[in-house]
Amino acid sequence: MRLRALLENDALGLRLLGGEDELDRTVRGVMTTDLKDPSRYLSGGELVLTGLAWRAEPADAEPFVRILASAGVAALAAGEAELGDIPDDLVEACLRHRLPLFAVNESVAFATITEHVVRQVSGERAGDLAAVVDRHRRLMTSGPAGGGPEVVLDLLGSDLDLRAWVLSPTGRQIAGAGEPLEAGLAATLAGEHLAATRTGRRGPHRLNLAGSTYSLFPIRNTGRGAAPASRDVRETVLSDWLLAVEADAGDWPAARLDLLQGVTQLIAVERDRRDAARTVRRRLAQEVLELVQTGAAPAEIAARLRVAAPVLLPGLGTAPHWQVVVARVEWEQEAGQAAVDTGPVAQALLEEVLVDPATVGAESADRIAVAHSGDEAIALVPLAAGPLPDSEDEGPAPALGLHADALLASVRAPLSSGLADDGRLTLGVSAAVHSAEGLRGALEEARHARRVAAARPGRVCAAGHHELASHVLLLPFVPDDVRRAFTARLLDPLRDYDRRHRAELIPTLEAFLDCDGSWTRCATRLHLHVNTLRYRVGRIEQLTGRDLSRLEDKLDFFLALRMS
């Protein structure tokens, strides 16, 4: 039943004091209490009745209302028999927490309200239960084996009028009934689910987006041996699927929630089946990786690739080119916290990133082979035939492309939510190679690129092989104390002078170096007279003891600015 129905029943003597916009909330039960903290007795959806005996002073209202709102109660009804008018502090606290507040006339007994709510809620549940039981039986006999998750989602749509989608942790739509979700919305839903999972909140998670309410149910992968309750959330948060339903599950009776939990179990079976289908590709990738890392002869590696070709390249024969992608997931370790085996975590996540046709192209999405070695995941990606461009001017890049950031463009936001404040994903991409001889070099190149990515700020970072031919490669590996000492010695005198005199020596130095030491171009860029520019550069040289006409000193200033 809805709160609105209670307000419209004159016999109950309720007067609304706040929460007009929340009257469509569903009431699933009723509770009478005068405890300061009744949270242990609340499960959500209740109409809470109170005589206000818990209120000794105005400051008591805020914590009491906060507890009720956190527990998800539907509304608070306060009796007027004890204090007369409801205190303003309680009204204001309920407004802050968006908790509907009713005043109960002193002539109406709480028992009258309780009896009415219990009778209405029990009748609704009894009527809905028979239909739900029948639907549950049909779902269990029409599981994924009969046509995949789409069969289950179609039944949810036809029998319960629920639009639902199965999403990966990156927001990729795996299944859905009817119109697909818009990609940005799917990524947002995945990110919200990951964030809620990392904070330990129990599902289903609910949120409002674009005028609609969505409920998110976790789909646990059941094929890893450990019981869900015994797993560290960091082992599964970046790989478990979710079921997104366009409805507010907070209004549902227990029977309907049980039905949706059964749906997630059916879809989990399909997830396990798809994981099993990857076993052959994983084994092939592991065999090739071991040959490459142990320095096997190119002919032996080539022979193994020929064996792998029918699996990774059905109908296309031997791949003309290969690309290597290396990924690593790292978690900050707290004292007394169990370590997480990050190799399998990175492997599952890299498979998910690379399986998306939008990431690698439709032709390559089903050909990805990912192994793991220690805490690294390593993907061997076959590329479709075509020229290998050396620069962006020579045409489109093959499959994965030459810019690693493209791999993470659409998944960075949701994955950052799953990594939260204690995790990182770093990824490196090699150049494409056309033979077995080049795979060892490609692997080392991808590993170096990943280390460059790891030196950058951010939870999700990537780097490509093209970044290894620059001074940028060297800077991340300079020890922090050396970086600080070097930049302080060169730049601190200029910063101090700028603070005291507002002389803008640092911006002048940056522009001067960017203009390759050209007085005219630099003066034009800064809108200065050349003599003013010469004065500033002279002051920089005087404060630092350096000579900006010397290449060595120019290079030192350039590196100091890049490292600061």
Q: For the CA atoms of the chain, what is the radius of gyration?
A: 31
| Domains along the sequence of the chain with CATH | 3-118 (3.40.1390.20), 153-277 (3.30.450), 279-472 (3.30.70), 478-563 (1.10.10.2840)
Determine how β-strand 205-209 pairs with β-strand 212-219: antiparallel
pLDDT at residue 83, rounded to an integer = 73
Dihedrals φ, ψ of 227, to 5°? Answer: -70, 145
pLDDT at residue 47, rounded to an integer = 93
Peptide bond into 204 cis (omega under 30): yes
Gap between the Cα atoms of 462 and 314, Å rounded: 30
**Highest-scoring range by mean pLDDT, 131-140, 297-306, 402-411, 489-498:** 489-498
Q: Dihedral sign for Cα 10, 13, 17, 18, please.
A: negative
Tens of pLDDT along 116-155?
Answer: 888 777 655 544 544 554 555 555 555 544 456 787 788 7
Gap between the Cα atoms of 438 and 342, Å rounded: 28
- Assess contact for 49 and 117: CB atoms under 8 A: no
pLDDT at residue 10, rounded to an integer = 84
Determine how β-strand 376-383 pairs with β-strand 369-373: antiparallel
Say if residue 346 is exposed, middle or buried (CB neighbours under 10 Å; 0-12, 13-18, 19+): buried
Gap between the Cα atoms of 185 and 214, Å rounded: 11
Q: What is the DSSP code (8-state) at residue 331?
A: E
Q: In whole angstroms, how far apart are CA 287 and each of 375, 378, 430?
A: 17, 12, 19
- Tokens matching residue 222: 């059941």
The length of the chain is 564
**Highest-scoring range by mean pLDDT, 13-17, 173-177, 463-467:** 13-17
Choice among 144-158, 160-174, 372-386 with the minimum mean pLDDT: 144-158
Q: Return the closest-CA partner of residue 443 out of 387, 390, 379, 370.
A: 379
| Terminal-residue alpha carbon distance, the chain | 62
Question: Helix (H, G, I), strand (E, B), or coil: what is residue 58?
Answer: helix
Tens of pLDDT along 26-54?
Answer: 888 889 998 999 988 888 889 999 999 89
The answer to whether residue 227 scores a pLDDT higher than 90 is no
Gap between the Cα atoms of 36 and 95, Å rounded: 19
Q: What is the DSSP code (8-state) at residue 145?
A: G
**pTM recorded for the entire structure:** 0.58
Gap between the Cα atoms of 34 and 55, Å rounded: 9
Say if residue 91 is exposed, middle or buried (CB neighbours under 10 Å; 0-12, 13-18, 19+): middle
Tens of pLDDT along 310-365?
Answer: 666 555 455 567 888 999 998 887 766 777 788 888 988 888 888 765 554 444 44
User: 514 versus 273: which is more confidently predicted?
Assistant: 514
Tens of pLDDT along 303-323?
Answer: 887 777 666 655 545 556 788
Q: What is the DSSP code (8-state) at residue 376?
A: E
H/E stretch holding 233 reads: helix 233-236
